[in-house]
């Protein structure tokens, strides 16, 4: 067999996406080009790797076996690149990051700072839900992951680098916005627009209400922070969000933070990597930069820690 790394990389994308068209989009290739690569790969293997059932595509038994080997080879190649990056230092290389969506409110400014210091390092950023981020970490398709709730796994190193305070927001015209203090019971009487099930913010909010014996009135569900904020601005209810997502809205005075008892609920941001992963020089440097932030920075741009006097 004469199987190239390009064959395996494209096959892994097809297997993961479950679609030739989606894999082509992800890899910035045309669909015919991906189909041709799959045809060449099957000719080299001498076995069918994909099968079409109705409108859905599935891997054959041989395809599943090849997928495991493709992922293993991709992981080894990533380790090789990391090892070579260590020799090259920070003059060049690739830093792969996978982060949950809320982290994307503060992370771009940190990446920009990193790029100013190390312009030769290219940064690849994936923004997705927690399940995808942890999956990317598990299959070695990212160097570092950032999430608010690390997994219960002995194979993952999780380090806290910044606090993530959750606050209750309202439209400035809301009656509670004029009060000097607001009780949880008052919040429970209002409609709360909420994030989708599985959201870390929603889970933390529900744990907080349950711990205080309060039942809230759920309104509309939204899959993004932006949609939730717009709903609150439109008067659909109150909301609970990370304080790091509303800096611009507070400056524009189109949202207000209510002084609710027991809030802010302080969660943490964690930077994660696999326990036995060989981190490249760029990944180690970026992780150290995160760990050097002021963990209590409340809004979008984290502040450097103050150095103790010499």
| pLDDT over 60 (residue 137) | yes
Nearest to 227 by CA among 200, 265, 194: 194
In angstroms, rounded to a whole number, what is the distance separating the alpha carbons of residues 15 and 81? 23
Q: What is the CATH number of domain 87-162+268-291?
A: 3.40.190.10
For residues 36-63, average pLDDT: 88
In angstroms, rounded to a whole number, what is the distance separating the alpha carbons of residues 276 and 133? 18
Domain 5-72 fold: Arc Repressor Mutant, subunit A (1.10.10)
| Domain residue ranges in the chain | 5-72, 87-162+268-291, 164-266
Asked if 146 contacts 100 with a C-beta cutoff of 8 angstroms, the reply is: yes
CATH class of the structural domain 164-266: alpha beta
pLDDT digits (tens, 9 = 90+) for 5-32: 889 999 998 988 888 988 898 888 899 9
Contacts of 98 (CB under 8 A, 6+ apart): 125, 126, 128, 132, 133, 136, 137, 141, 142, 144, 145, 146
pLDDT at position 71, please? 86
| pLDDT over 50 (residue 309) | no
Indicate the pairing of strand 265-274 with strand 144-147.
Answer: antiparallel
Asked if 21 contacts 31 with a C-beta cutoff of 8 angstroms, the reply is: yes
Tell me, yes or no, if the two domains 5-72 and 87-162+268-291 fold the same way. no
């Amino acid at each position: 067999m004469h199987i190239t790394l390009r064959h395996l990389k494209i096959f892994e994308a097809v297997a993961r996406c479950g679609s030739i068209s989606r894999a082509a989009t992800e890899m910035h290739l045309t669909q015919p080009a991906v189909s041709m690569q799959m045809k060449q790969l099957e000719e080299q293997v001498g076995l069918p790797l994909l099968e079409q059932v109705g409108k859905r595509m599935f891997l054959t038994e041989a395809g599943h076996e090849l997928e495991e080997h493709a992922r293993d080879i991709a992981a080894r190649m990533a380790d090789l690149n990391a090892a070579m990056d260590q020799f090259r230092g920070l003059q060049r290389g690739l830093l792969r990051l996978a982060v949950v969506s809320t982290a994307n409110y503060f992370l771009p400014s940190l990446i920009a700072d990193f790029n100013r210091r190390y312009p030769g390092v290219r940064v690849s950023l994936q923004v997705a839900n927690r399940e995808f981020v942890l999956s990317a970490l598990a299959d070695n398709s990212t160097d570092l992951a950032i999430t608010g709730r690390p997994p219960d796994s002995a194979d993952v190193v999780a380090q806290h680098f910044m606090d993530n305070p959750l606050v209750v927001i309202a439209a400035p015209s809301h009656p509670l916005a004029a009060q000097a203090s607001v009780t949880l019971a008052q919040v429970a009487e209002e409609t709360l627009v909420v994030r989708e099930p599985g959201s870390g913010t929603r889970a933390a909010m529900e744990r907080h209400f349950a711990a205080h014996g309060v039942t809230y009135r759920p309104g509309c569900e939204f899959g993004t922070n932006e949609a939730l904020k717009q709903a609150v601005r439109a008067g659909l209810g109150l909301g609970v969000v990370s304080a790091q997502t509303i800096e611009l809205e507070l400056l524009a005075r189109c949202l207000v933070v209510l002084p609710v008892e027991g809030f802010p609920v302080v969660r943490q941001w964690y930077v994660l990597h696999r326990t036995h992963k060989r981190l490249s020089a760029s990944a180690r440097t970026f992780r150290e930069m995160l760990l050097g932030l002021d963990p209590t920075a409340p809004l979008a741009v984290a502040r450097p820690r103050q150095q103790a006097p010499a």
